[in-house]
Structure 1
């Protein structure tokens, strides 16, 4: 299946959000409160000219998707870019072409395509600064076979989710990272 067919198979943002069962309120919170800076006119104009679209591999249980997807949606709205979302677990054939470090089905993955369906850029699953923060959180966990691992891991995920939801500097890091990936291909 080519990327054009994957795009056509995807859900619109409205359909995806409507069907969400986890992180819906958090995603909507970020979407409502994240705003593009006025300095981005040049990039937005370039995106409009390029007429890109984007395929998003995601799942609603994913905390990274909860913060990254609404930032992409804000950018896409400003650039009049069509977005389609695919559930990772139902689309492993595509997911397995975009593994993180060649092994991990980490999400979200944003696949930017042109009007002919050719890949132009790929972003995800995390901004580098966010990855560093997650790595630091994980380094404080006990070993997987330790009796406290499950509880401490749950606590870490809850703390991370709250940080994603409320820390606007994280939103800006995600925004900068996505912009950088797109700008590398547009300029």
Structure 2
């Protein structure tokens, strides 16, 4: 674990939303018929409404396995988990509620959510294949001096599936492809997400 140069400061972290604050903020956006970022199109307003519904559903149904819960309890040094997202992000709505449940299991973990388009200098440190893909999770030591791990923007199965679709859609309309993606999330129930986060979190433990 080495000290890294990154643009995340304590001030930026503290200005981020806690997860409950982010849910309430998204509720307000839906009530006011707007979203985050420059794109205020009807499609993005609809994405935001869907994201709120998905977060509320996962808030009630997402479950952490006993193995993961035990691992989280082994964290004995403060960690700060930063998530880069936007209110309209469908993948964020599918994954962040589970990540928030992990953070709730140990008071040494602080979770904050910032908006991608408000902090381009941070987003550009955590690109995926050169793209500003979200959500992106970055874990730091409590003093923010060392980066522990990154994850995102989606489970590997979907990253591969998107790559396949981009290479050859096989005539499947993008809307139907998106429906397939969100059906996968519903059926997978965060299983792949947990399997990917487990070794990353385990790597931060002091042996």
* TM-score class, shorter: 0.7 to 0.9
Task: Determine helix, strand or coil for the equivalent of 1:56.
Answer: strand
For the 8 Å contact 2:69–2:102, the answer to whether it is kept is no
Listed as ranges, the gaps of 5+ residues in structure 2 are 1-6, 31-47
1:7 maps to: 13
Q: Is the 8 A contact 2:83 2:138 kept in 1?
A: yes
Greater helix share, 1 or 2?
A: 1
Aligned residues of 2:17 and 2:112 also touching (Cα < 8 A): yes
**1:178 alignment counterpart:** 197
Aligned to 1:50: 77
Query: Distance in 1 between the 2:135 and 2:116 partners?
Result: 9
Corresponding residue number in structure 1 for 2:56: 28
The answer as to 2:37 corresponding to 1:19 is no
Alignment of 1:130-149 (within 5 A): 130-141=158-169
Distance 1:90 1:41 in 2: 33
Q: Give per-residue Cα distances to partners, 1:95-120, cap 9 Å, x unaligned.
A: 0011112x110111111122211222
- Is 1:121 matched up with 2:140? no
What TM-score does the superposition give when structure 2 sets the normalisation length? 0.76
Q: Pairwise mapping of residues 48-127 of structure 1 onto structure 2 (< 5 A)?
A: 49-80=76-107, 81-101=109-129, 103-118=130-145, 119-127=147-155
Q: Do the aligned residues in 1 keep the contact of 2:69 with 2:105 (CA within 8 Å)?
A: no
Structure 1 contact 110–124 (Cα < 8 Å) conserved: yes
Is the contact between residue 123 and residue 132 of structure 2 (CA under 8 Å) also seen in structure 1? yes
RMSD: 2.1
For residues 87 and 41 of structure 1, do their structure 2 counterparts lie closer, same or farther at Cα, with a shift above 3 Å needed? closer
Structure 2 distance, partners of 1:94, 1:31, is: 27
Give the TM-score taking structure 1 as reference length.
0.84
- Contact preservation (8 Å) 1:64, 1:125: yes
How far off is 1:170 after superposition? 5.0
